[in-house]
Amino acid sequence: AQSVTQLGSHVSVSEGALVLLRCNYSSSVPPYLFWYVQYPNQGLQLLLKYTSAATLVKGINGFEAEFKKSETSFHLTKPSAHMSDAAEYFCAVSDRSGGGADGLTFGKGTHLIIQP
C-alpha cells in the first residue's frame, strides 16, 4: 500500500521568500510522484511529476521538486514566492505511471498563504 504525508496543513511565507512544501511518501515499489495545485473554485492542475529520469524535477510557474529516495521525500520548492502562488497544493503518489487504471493516492494538502 502507498501513502503520502504532507507536513503542515497551512504554510505562510512573505512575498519574495522561499517556498518549501513538504511531502513524504510510502510505497512498496519505486513510486511515481506528482504535485498538483488547486486554485479557488478550480480543478487540480499538475505542477510537476517525477518519472525517475532525474531526481530534480522542474515544473510550471517556477516550482521544482527533488526526489530523495533515502528520505522518501519529494518536497516542493520555489525560490521566490509570488502573490499568485496562493493556493492549495497536493502531493500524490502512484505505483503505476499515473495514467493507467490505478488511481492516485493524495496527501491532505497544504494551503499556501503569501503575505505581502
Partner 1 sequence: EPEVTQTPSHQVTQMGQEVILRCVPISNHLYFYWYRQILGQKVEFLVSFYNNEISEKSEIFDDQFSVERPDGSNFTLKIRSTKLEDSAMYFCASSEGYGRGRNVVEQFFGPGTRLTVL
Q: How far is the CB of 89 from partner 1 (least distance, A)?
A: 12
Three cell numbers written together for 3: 501513502
Q: Which strand (E) or helix (H) includes residue 73?
A: strand 73-78
Q: Does 109 bind partner 1 (CB under 8 A)?
A: yes
Q: Does 52 bind partner 1 (CB under 8 A)?
A: yes
* From 15-23, 60-68, 73-81, 96-104, span contacting partner 1 (CB under 8 A): 96-104
Q: How far is the CB of 65 from partner 1 (least distance, A)?
A: 14
Contact between 57 and 64 under an 8 Å Cβ cutoff? The reply is yes
Q: Does 10 bind partner 1 (CB under 8 A)?
A: no
Beta strands at 110-115 and 87-94: parallel, antiparallel or unpaired: antiparallel
